Amino acid sequence: MDHYHYEPLRKRMVDQQLKTRGIENDNVIDAFLRVPRELFVDNTYRNLAYEDHPLPIDQDQTISQPYMVALMSELAGLDQTKSVLEIGTGSGYQTAILSLIAKTVYTVERIKFLQAKAKIVLTEAGYTNIQYAHGDGSLGWEEHAPYDAIIVTAAASEIPKPLLDQLKSLGRLVIPVGGSYFQTLMLITRVDDHIERQAICSCRFVPLLHGTIE
Q: What is the CATH number of the domain that holds 87?
A: 3.40.50.150
Q: Name the residue range of residue 84's domain.
A: 54-203
Alpha-carbon dihedral angle through residues 214, 103, 129, 74, given to the nearest 10 degrees = 60
Q: CA 72, 76, 80: angle at the middle one, nearest 5?
A: 120
167: Cα within 13 Å, side-chain hemisphere? 27
45 by DSSP, 3-state: which? helix
Question: Is 138 annotated in the active site?
Answer: no
Task: Specify the number of domains making up the chain.
Answer: 1
The arrangement of strands across the sheet holding 167-178 comes to: 130-134, 104-109, 83-87, 147-152, 167-178, 183-191, 194-203
45: Cα within 13 Å, side-chain hemisphere? 18
Asked whether residue 37 is domain-assigned, the answer is no
Per-residue pLDDT of the chain (214 residues; tens, 9 = 90+): 556 689 999 999 999 999 999 999 999 999 999 999 999 999 999 999 999 999 999 877 889 999 999 999 999 999 999 999 999 999 999 999 999 999 999 999 999 999 999 999 999 999 999 999 999 999 999 999 999 999 999 999 999 999 999 999 999 999 999 988 889 999 999 998 899 999 999 999 989 999 999 8
Asked whether residue 211 is domain-assigned, the answer is no
Q: State how beta strands 183-191 and 194-203 pair.
A: antiparallel
Q: What is the pLDDT of residue 3?
A: 61
Asked whether residue 18 is domain-assigned, the answer is no
Asked whether residue 27 is domain-assigned, the answer is no
* Active-site hit among 64, 83, 91, 138: 64
- Crossing angle, helix 93-101 and helix 26-34, to 10 degrees? 130
Q: How far apart are CA 202 and CA 182, in angstroms?
A: 7
